[in-house]
Chain A
């Protein structure tokens, strides 16, 4: 019987709470720290950064974090698994090696990188070889947007991470690994699960889904009884996975946050598609088989998870340039705040038309008067203290969007009264990155995946 393995979540997205990883390492025992930095859109942002600076393109926050924690990680035997590498895992490793150069550590830190998820340089070869990379939602072949592709990354599974851990890595840096694999790869490695042990892999996937959004499984953003959760210094979730695939969701007792059936269930249904078909590169989890037992004391037991075999395909996340957009806001005060905001919107639209500007979409929302729930909220209450006018435009060309950004400020002196809220200056023009989900044969990706290990510090 192997000892349960404790995998702690320390980041749920790029920009998450900076203190969480250190608290996970310092406030109680854990074996692994998983740090998820990547959302669908993150890769294209990182690719843009790398286009400007070839050494960039990864989650920069990760480097000072490990620089600070390295001695403790080595003393406590805590290993880190992260997708902080973004579109440049090697650049991330180089920066970390540089940061640790000459540092006095108990022993050198072994850093592994996983490379091979980036398909942007292989797209033409793949298309020529008959891989259509058709859009999973529309069926359209990639040819339609090929020239505008900004980033293309396959979601890799656990294999390369497990390989890195077997080679003794203290820190594993990947690019576009499947978020959940950051949690279950250490479990496969530590608990000796077979790669066709579909129920255990599925349990790992469920655990990964709970961990991948940071505090969201431990009281953060929890609707149920939200007033009573202390979120000043929240404990992020920790999974204690057992050899047979049963596990406990918990958090460090000294920290805030909360783990109950309600907080865990809310996270389980988050970004859920068909619950019986939660597909990852390593297997399919059936969320309709999950059993939860709230044991009290911030401990929720999860068991009975069933899974099915993995498929022969990997998901590919492709981002392509799809025009430009900008959003401008102004705030109108009582009395008749909503009527003033509406009038301002009419004037703005008429001026845009007068200029002969063409947009794919102009969208107006009245924040404070039903922008979130829209028509579902019904008519807004009368006599609102203020309303924010929020107008967004999108176009295939940059020029009309740029021109739009100059039409917001004039409304202050040449528009309805009682207006404020323009301290931020002209709205920023943003390039739109559209998302193209596709599938590719697993084999053509996996044969090019490599794992490299280097050492840093400890001199």
Chain B
């Protein structure tokens, strides 16, 4: 099923100069292979079109069920040079989770089952 990345992952982002880092973490281990397959550097570059003006690098952390992305030239110069509201890329994490990904039904069911926030909303 096509869903937002936020259904199977959560994220945190930060900055190093003009580069934003976005760590994406699977909510259940079974969702990690889906992340690794769906969320490629190319797709992230496309997703952040008009925001990321440089290269996107991807690093795999299967031990943490996580991927780390570096989005170069994304913060308007970075640091105090930047005129951006989000000069430190703090909200790139949730921007990433807007991405649409194809998730097998069983993985999605397991992700929903595990997430306490999702369970509460349903209940």
> What's the nearest-Cβ distance from chain B to residue A273, in Å?
6
Interface residues of A in 391-415 (CB under 8 A from B): 392-394
A40, A268, A287, A376, most chain B CB atoms within 10 A: A376
A361 contacts the other chain (Cβ, under 8 Å)?
yes
In the assembled complex, the Cα of A361 lies from the Cα of B21 at a distance in Å of 24
1/0 contact trace for A210-253 toward B, CB 8 Å?
Answer: 00000000000101111110000000000000000000000000
Asked whether A271 and B14 contact (CB < 8 A) given A372-B91, A434-B80, the answer is yes
A277 — nearest CB in chain B belongs to which residue? B59
> What's the nearest-Cβ distance from chain A to residue B123, in Å?
13
B17 contacts across to A, CB distance below 8 A: 137, 435, 437
> What's the nearest-Cβ distance from chain B to residue A392, in Å?
3
In the assembled complex, the Cα of A225 lies from the Cα of B119 at a distance in Å of 10
Asked whether A287 and B61 contact (CB < 8 A) given A137-B17, A269-B68, A393-B83, the answer is yes
B112 contacts across to A, CB distance below 8 A: none
A276 contacts across to B, CB distance below 8 A: 59
1/0 contact trace for A360-390 toward B, CB 8 Å?
Answer: 0101010100011111110000000000001
A-B contact number at CB 8 A: 139
Q: How large is the interface on B (under 10, 10 to 19, 20 to 34, 35 or more residues)?
A: 35 or more
A265 contacts B64, C-beta separation under 8 Å: yes
**Set B25, B95, B115: member contacting A376, Cβ < 8 A:** B95
A269 contacts B61, C-beta separation under 8 Å: yes
A333 contacts across to B, CB distance below 8 A: none
The interface-forming segment of B35-43, B44-52, B102-110 is B44-52
A375 — nearest CB in chain B belongs to which residue? B50
A167 contacts the other chain (Cβ, under 8 Å)?
no
Interface residues of A in 262-317 (CB under 8 A from B): 262, 265-276, 287-292
B66 contacts across to A, CB distance below 8 A: 265, 268-269
Asked whether A376 and B59 contact (CB < 8 A) given A269-B12, A367-B85, A435-B79, the answer is no
B25 contacts across to A, CB distance below 8 A: 224, 262, 265-266, 269
**Set B11, B51, B59, B76: member contacting A223, Cβ < 8 A:** B11
**Set A275, A325, A361: member contacting B59, Cβ < 8 A:** A275
**Set B12, B57, B91: member contacting A266, Cβ < 8 A:** B12
B70 contacts across to A, CB distance below 8 A: 273
A16 contacts across to B, CB distance below 8 A: none
Q: How large is the interface on A (under 10, 10 to 19, 20 to 34, 35 or more residues)?
A: 35 or more
B122 contacts the other chain (Cβ, under 8 Å)?
no
In the assembled complex, the Cα of A390 lies from the Cα of B11 at a distance in Å of 27
**Set A41, A227, A363: member contacting B80, Cβ < 8 A:** A41
In the assembled complex, the Cα of A112 lies from the Cα of B102 at a distance in Å of 57
A268 contacts B64, C-beta separation under 8 Å: yes
Extra 13 A-B pairs, beta carbons < 8 Å, given A40-B79, A432-B81: A223-B94, A227-B120, A228-B117, A262-B25, A269-B24, A274-B59, A325-B80, A327-B83, A361-B76, A371-B86, A372-B95, A430-B80, A434-B80
> What residues of chain A have their CB less than 8 Å away from a CB belonging to chain B?
40-41, 137, 221, 223-228, 262, 265-276, 287-292, 322, 325, 327, 361, 363, 365, 367, 371-377, 390, 392-394, 430, 432-435, 437
| 29 examples of A-B residue contacts, CB within 8 angstroms | A137-B17, A224-B10, A228-B120, A262-B10, A265-B25, A266-B12, A266-B25, A270-B14, A270-B23, A271-B14, A272-B23, A272-B59, A288-B61, A322-B81, A327-B83, A363-B83, A363-B84, A371-B85, A372-B85, A372-B91, A375-B50, A377-B98, A390-B85, A392-B83, A392-B84, A394-B81, A432-B80, A433-B80, A435-B78
